[in-house]
Amino acid sequence: MTMAIVHFKGVVESLTRELIPKIYLARIRDDEGKYVVEMDLHEELFVVPKGAKVEFSISREKPDYRDGIDFLGRATFVTKRKIDEHNQYLFSIGGLLVIVTTKEELDIKPVEKVYVKLAQIG
């Protein structure tokens, strides 16, 4: 496995239909309580049900993935915001948003291109 900027196993806490047709907002929390990810999912690409166990990663190199099973997107790092003691990192995958909230400082530069992977594991 390549060295990831973010890598965790967690659970889909909620899946909410958004105003835009076929778009859902998945809220994913890691098993150790370090990360919360809010991620737009398009139903024709990839959707995970509420309660699903997942593996999530953000990496510079293309990670191993199961073609046609896992979600893998090329994202651009857009901005970082500070909210109380948490950092919020905003990524865009062709307009689909991925927001990572953590107390950690992520090793990433403005407009850097990365891979975002989401895989259902159980």
Host domain of residue 46? 4-120
| CATH code, domain with 76 | 2.40.50.140
pLDDT in tens for each of the 122 residues of the chain? 457 999 999 999 999 999 999 999 999 999 999 999 999 999 988 889 999 999 999 999 999 999 999 999 999 999 999 999 999 999 999 999 999 999 999 999 989 999 999 999 97
106-112 own/partner pairs: CB under 8 Å, 24+ apart:
106/5, 106/6, 106/58, 106/80, 107/5, 108/5, 108/77, 109/77, 110/77, 110/79, 111/76, 111/77, 111/78, 112/60, 112/76, 112/77
Q: Specify the number of domains making up the chain.
A: 1
